[in-house]
Chains A and B, each alone.
Chain A
Amino acid sequence: MATPAPNPTRAQVPPLGTERPVVWPRRFRRTLANGLEVALVETRTIPKFTADLYIRSGNAVATLPGLAQMTATVARTGTSRRTSHQIEDALRGWGADLSISAGADTTSVAFAGLAEFARPLLDLVYEIVREASFSAEEFERERRQKIEGLRIDRTTPEFLAAERLRKVLFGAHSYADYAPTEQQVEAYSREALIAYYRENYAPANALLVGVGDFSADVMWKEIEGAFGDWKGAPPERAAEPEPPKSHGRHVYFVHLPGAVQTQIVVANMAITRRHPDWMRLALANNLFGGAFNSRLVRNIREEKGYTYSPRSSVHALRQHGFFSVSAAVRNDVVAAALTEIFYELDRIRALPVGEEELADTRSYMSGVFSLGLGTQDGIAGQLGGVLLDGLPEEYLEKYRERVRALQPSDVLEAARRYFDSPNAQIIVVGDGEAVAGQAALFGEMEKFDAQGNSI
């Protein structure tokens, strides 16, 4: 910091009290005869329950980019037994919420409601994943809305940066498609949606996580009753090409005329959550820029005031993962911000971290991991994430001790392997006339317009 901050009078900072044990609630796990995996947790914090039905297929296996998302969107608008209005009225009358969306790897039906209406809500979810009607009218309406939404997305700096980043990192791999083009959405057909739905919405391809105010035995019977008749084999998976290897830094500039701020992303390929290096990478990321109290935030926000929300993240998709550093900065400090980002990347790759900084980050990680314990949503999120990634459920219990075992050498190794500063890909979204010259200082530069065309 430019002005060194005085240390607090240490004697006055109250020490931490005795740690109370962190106990993850017991999980009830069973699989239906049709292959649907079920994981349940009883917790009676409020008279509700929350659940996620995960289907292990997403946009990466669809015939067109975003088609899994469109399938999910339309599936919710009607079944063989209910119109869209009837679905929405029923949900409201049960005090329920339901949303359905598809990412690259997974389609999620998230639903929650009053415990007293659990069974009718389960029955409705079954209808949506099994008997969706895909009405032509709803499909056409949703398709038009999607196109209008995409037009707005392509004026949004974060979207443009994410879209370009995926293309750069993943090349011919389907993860390269962050969103469809308008032409691709025009090419969707009702038949293609139905074909995707029939192939992928199968019980042996699904996981149901439920958390809330119920008895697991009773809930299990309700789930058996609601989903027992669901049939279908898991889909076959085609092999995917490997993402390209990066050689040297490159700059990809997306021109957004009139932008009064510049979105920067610096990224490289990394690993999935199943990789043995995951914990040390997660720690290195938190120390670097994942927490408020991290090097990146201290530097470019709290010392220099370049940006409001700098952040580094590790993104784990099913087949591949990547690391990214992002910041929206004012136009006159694009080069300065990139310089500091690379300074911090090179520093963490070159020099071992001190014991105190490491201890602080370990405590942060182990504490924050447990914050979800207090709520139904929090437990559902953590448990769902672990099971979906194919990790053993003991991951929840072992997480804290694994974090606490990490050493300075772990941070150094992870940073050298996965913060690939020499081969980083740099995405810059901004007004070309104002800032492209600054971006070009950091590598060979290609320029694009907001529609993705080279310019």
Chain B
Amino acid sequence: MAKLNIPVESRTLTNGLRVVVSPDHTAPLVTVGVYYKIGFRLEPRGRSGFAHLFEHMMFQGSENAGKMEHIKLINSSGGVLNGTTHYDLTNYFEAVPSNALERVLWLEADRMRALKVDDENLRNQRDVVKEEVRVNVLNQPYGGFPWLDLPPVAFRNWANAHNFYGDFADLDAATLADVRAFFKTYYVPSNAALVIVGDVEPEEAFDLAKRQFEDISGGAQPATTDVNELPQTEERRGIVEEKFGTLPAVAIGYRAPARHTPEWYATALLDYALHAGRAGRFYRRLVQEQKLAVEVSGDTGDLIELNGPCQIVTHVFYKPEVTDSQILAAYDAVVEDARKNGIANPELEQIKVKFRSDFFSTLESGRGGFPRFGLLHYLACFTLFDGNPGLINTILERFMSVTAEQVRSVAEKYVVPAQRAIVFRLPAGRKAA
């Protein structure tokens, strides 16, 4: 049941750019992504938020497509585009009618070859990014909770612990020279992957990729940055004041095991048992049965796109009359049960069915926006981090073969107080209790 047969072909161009193609002729559409192995975890010290600011600069003009020309050429081809910055990667992607494929590749190659930006562009996008931070974090109830609140408490290595959206002083300090240096270091073909999904034959796609990208000079792969964390030996806690919202909230995160270890696969299923929807153990216990919480959710982040330290995180919004220690005690009871008894059948079998079903949905992903973006995203991550896009057809089996004992053992070993970080987000005026 977990066997997949998604067609995937890949090549590496002479400059080191990896090209991956998955043909599908269901509709005359292609989704294209260029992924760079640089995310906010790796941005320079003193330049918090720079990887994301830089992502904005990639839309500000390249050698042959000036400001707004890139966007205009995609939109007027009948397509949509975006870029996003993550912990360990930054991606740029487009969905277009398949007759616009070469144009999309031309545009992506043009900005991989030579960014052409000036101080005015930088000032403009710095302003835009500040409004992005305000609309998503500073002017929203629970903005940045827990994704910006937890890392500084949980981690000690600056790479993992700093403000990824950027302190405004750091954004202000960024210069055009920083932009050029960052581009030169990280935006080289050998640090990137080009993925094309949809209505194209692989040979045609490779020819087009070669024509557009192969003359971009290679450049050395960037040096690896140390993102490791020392082992954690005691619980870490923090409190952040909530400026707008009316409910107390808490996030609890535990270190997750390393990528592709057997424990990593088991963690994904443990996460499902604890967090997946209204059947998840925390929702059931804290919201439905004990009625202490108003909302509970949690996850590990998208494990496939994380290439460094990460956490399995639960966040709880609880009723104002419930004390902080009450909610933690109720939370701990759920955790203790999982540590002691694991996740037995039929629960584990149900979870596997849901996991498999969700995996298929992820491959299609999105109501029309970027068709099959999920497939493209996974292919890119498997290429950049594992050197093996073929994992798309085999990885589901690894998740499906996790045993109840493995889940219990991962809970026992990783979900322990000494390895967790807790951040309360408390409305102004509420005393921690």
- Give the contacts of B37-68 with A (CB-CB under 8 A): 61, 64-68
Are B101's CB and A17's CB within 8 A? yes
Are B64's CB and A12's CB within 8 A? yes
Which residue on chain A has the smallest CB distance to residue B142?
Answer: A152
Residues of A within 8 A of B278 (CB): 84, 88
Decide yes or no: A114 and B71 within 8 Å by CB, A2-B120, A260-B139, A375-B364 being known contacts. Answer: no
Which residue on chain B has the smallest CB distance to residue A330?
Answer: B131
Residues of B within 8 A of A374 (CB): 24, 26-27, 29, 31, 198, 364, 368, 371-372
- Give the contacts of B125-182 with A (CB-CB under 8 A): 125-132, 134-135, 138-142
Are A366's CB and B102's CB within 8 A? no
A278 on the interface (CB 8 Å rule)? no
Are B75's CB and A360's CB within 8 A? yes
Which residue on chain B has the smallest CB distance to residue A138?
Answer: B288
Are B78's CB and A367's CB within 8 A? yes
Are B246's CB and A293's CB within 8 A? no
- Give the contacts of A351-378 with B (CB-CB under 8 A): 359-361, 363-364, 366-368, 370-378
Number of interface residues, chain A, beta carbon within 8 A: 88
Residues of B within 8 A of A407 (CB): none
A26 on the interface (CB 8 Å rule)? no
CA distance A272 to B379 in the complex (A): 42
Number of interface residues, chain B, beta carbon within 8 A: 93
Decide yes or no: A18 and B294 within 8 Å by CB, A96-B357, A292-B81, A370-B29 being known contacts. Answer: no
Are A148's CB and B120's CB within 8 A? no
Stretch at the interface among A167-175, A197-205, A306-314, A341-349: A306-314
A91 on the interface (CB 8 Å rule)? yes
A183 on the interface (CB 8 Å rule)? no
Are B135's CB and A45's CB within 8 A? no
Decide yes or no: A92 and B279 within 8 Å by CB, A46-B364, A305-B125, A307-B128 being known contacts. Answer: yes
Query: Contacting B103 at CB < 8 Å: which of A3, A13, A370?
Result: A13
- Closest CB in chain A relative to B361 CB, distance in Å: 7
Are A373's CB and B27's CB within 8 A? yes
- Closest CB in chain B relative to A100 CB, distance in Å: 12
Residues of A within 8 A of B120 (CB): 2-3
**Could you count the A-B residue pairs with CB atoms below 8 Å apart for me: how many are there?**
269
Residues of B within 8 A of A241 (CB): none
A298 on the interface (CB 8 Å rule)? yes
- Closest CB in chain B relative to A11 CB, distance in Å: 10
Are B75's CB and A292's CB within 8 A? yes
Query: Contacting A302 at CB < 8 Å: which of B67, B77, B247?
Result: B67
Query: Contacting A360 at CB < 8 Å: which of B72, B99, B276, B356?
Result: B72
B195 on the interface (CB 8 Å rule)? no
CA distance A368 to B96 in the complex (A): 8
Residues of B within 8 A of A258 (CB): 243-244
Which residue on chain B has the smallest CB distance to residue A379?
Answer: B368
Decide yes or no: A148 and B371 within 8 Å by CB, A8-B64, A155-B245, A292-B81 being known contacts. Answer: no
Which residue on chain B has the smallest CB distance to residue A117?
Answer: B353
Are A17's CB and B99's CB within 8 A? yes
Residues of A within 8 A of B364 (CB): 45-46, 374-377
- Closest CB in chain A relative to B141 CB, distance in Å: 5
Which residue on chain B has the smallest CB distance to residue A291?
Answer: B75
Query: Contacting A308 at CB < 8 Å: which of B29, B128, B319?
Result: B128
Which residue on chain B has the smallest CB distance to residue A9?
Answer: B64
Query: Contacting A293 at CB < 8 Å: which of B72, B142, B371?
Result: B72
Are A46's CB and B361's CB within 8 A? yes
Are A6's CB and B95's CB within 8 A? no
- Give the contacts of B253-281 with A (CB-CB under 8 A): 276-279
A454 on the interface (CB 8 Å rule)? no
A5 on the interface (CB 8 Å rule)? yes
Decide yes or no: A301 and B78 within 8 Å by CB, A91-B279, A148-B246 being known contacts. Answer: no
The contact sample of 8 A-B pairs, CB cut-off 8 A, is A9-B64, A17-B100, A43-B26, A88-B277, A95-B357, A141-B291, A293-B72, A372-B368
B residues apposed to A, CB below 8 Å:
24, 26-29, 31, 61, 64-69, 71-81, 95-103, 106, 118, 120, 123-132, 134-135, 138-142, 198-199, 243-247, 276-279, 284, 287-288, 291, 294-295, 317, 319, 346, 349-351, 353-354, 356-358, 360-361, 363-372
Given contacts A48-B361, A329-B131, 4 further A-B contacts (CB under 8 A): A85-B288, A114-B356, A367-B97, A370-B28
